[in-house]
Structure 1
Amino acid sequence: MNKFSRDLVQGMKEAADFAEGKKAAARVHVVEVPDVRAIRQQLHMSQQRFAETYRIPLPTLKNWEQGRRAPDAPAAAYLQAISRQPKAIKEALQHG
C-alpha cells in the first residue's frame, strides 16, 4: 500500500471515530451561520432589494432564510461582513 492509500485509510478511520463520538485526531471547523433574515431586516430591506444590492441570487437568499439551505463558509463570511459594514460592502460593489 502506498502513502496515499495509508493516509486515506487513516483519514477514514478518524472520520468514523469522530462520527461515533470518539475522540479523534480530526480537526473540526465550525462556521457560524449568520441569521440572514435578521441581517436583512436590520437593514430594512426587502428580499429583492437585499439580493440585488449585495448580488446574491434571490432564490439562494430565500433558501437560506427558509432553512432549506445554509450559507457555505465563504457566503457566511460575506454575510457577516454585510452585517458589520453594510454601507462599505454596498459601495465596494457599486464600484466593481
Structure 2
Amino acid sequence: MKDKVMGTTFGQDLIASMTEAVAHARGEGMVAREHIVEVPDVRAIREGLGLSQNAFATIYRIPLATLKGWEQGRRQPDATASAYLSVIARMPGEAREALRAA
C-alpha cells in the first residue's frame, strides 16, 4: 500500500513539497527583496515652507522631538512618515487643510 500511495500524484506532490521546504530552509532558490525607503530632506521641506520647527510640527501634527531627531540625523522617518513628508513637500496646503478638516 505504501508503494501505491507514493506512486500517485499526491505522493509525488508531497515529495516535491518536502524537497522545496528543505531547500527553503537552507536559503536556496530564494530571491532577496529589498524595500528601499526614500527619505526626504525634512529640514529642506520645512525651510522651503518658511516654517519654524515648532510651527511645522504643530501644523502637520508631528511631535517636535521626532522632527528634531529627523533633522539632526539621530533618527530616520519610517516608510509611512517618509510618504507623509513627501505629501507635505508636494502638497503642503492640501495636507494642512486635510488635517484642519479632520
TM-score past 0.5 threshold: yes
Match of 1:35 among 28, 41, 61: 41
Runs (4 or more) in structure 1 with deviation over 6 Å come to none
Distance 2:66 2:44 in 1: 16
Match of 2:54 among 48, 57, 73: 48
Distance 1:95 1:7 in 2: 53
Distance 2:77 2:23 in 1: 30
Distance 1:88 1:43 in 2: 13
Unaligned 5+ residue runs, structure 1? 15-23
Match of 1:75 among 48, 71, 81: 81
Distance 2:25 2:68 in 1: 40
Q: Measure how far apart 1:6 and its partner are.
A: 5.6
Identity %: 56
One-letter identity of the residue aligned with 1:80 = S
Q: Measure how far apart 1:48 and its partner are.
A: 0.1
CA radius of gyration, larger in: 2
Unaligned 5+ residue runs, structure 2? 1-17
Please give the root-mean-square deviation of Cα atoms over the aligned residues, in Å.
2.1
Q: Please give the secondary structure, in 2, of the residue aligned with 1:60.
A: helix
